[in-house]
Amino acid sequence: MAINSRDLKFKLFSLAKKLAGMPKDAEYAIIVYEDGYVSPIISQGLFSGAIIPFRHVDHGFAVAVLHTHPVPRTAPSIADLNLLFNMSRHNTPAYLGTIYRSGSEVVLTLYIANRSVSPMEASLVLNESRVYEFLNVRGGFRESLSDKQIYEQHRLLQRLNISVERYRFKL
């Protein structure tokens, strides 16, 4: 049985709070699949990111992925965007959430693909994102750069019917 969007969004906020409390020593992720199954917390090294099992034999395709960014980054990486685009080809809406914590303040940014994103459209966005990947890696991750990326990418993502929602909360 598929999970409805309203229930899923409520579940994502609860899961985001859980992930936000994780140590900042690695990237942590949780996946929600088509039938509502929630994966155990996945973690990987600080800079290698987390490998996301996009399809689960028993539970279908991923409909939502939440993960932490241990560095000051609230914008999506190229890998994040690529995952969202791939999820959108199997289910819409598809949710990708990045979670960044500074002290007790948490920023949850949700990217919601409301329609399937074609490979050609995805390629355009990913090419635009390469500039920010370079700037982040070369200059060190800065929240101001991440905010600039979100602002500029938001317009492009809106044309693809991807909404960006940002929430701030305290742990």
Summarize pLDDT for 43-81 with one digit per residue, the tens: 876 555 567 788 888 999 999 999 998 776 667 888 889
Question: For residue 76, what pLDDT is reported?
Answer: 80
Q: Closest by alpha carbon to 136, among 92, 84, 100, 90? A: 100
- How far is 42 from 58, CA to CA, in rounded Å? 18
Compute how many other C-beta atoms are within 10 angstroms of the C-beta atom of residue 168. 10
Give the amino acid at 52. Answer: I
Quick check: 31 and 59 in contact, CB under 8 A? no
Summarize pLDDT for 94-144 with one digit per residue, the tens: 999 999 998 999 999 999 999 999 999 999 888 887 877 777 667 666 666
- Beta strands (DSSP E) in 40-148 are 42-44, 55-56, 60-68, 94-102, 105-113
In the predicted structure, residue 147 carries a pLDDT above the cut 90: no
- Strands 162-170 and 105-113, bridge-based pairing: antiparallel
3-state secondary structure of 103: coil
- pTM score, whole prediction: 0.87
Per-residue tokens: 105: 């303040």
Question: For residue 1, what pLDDT is reported?
Answer: 52
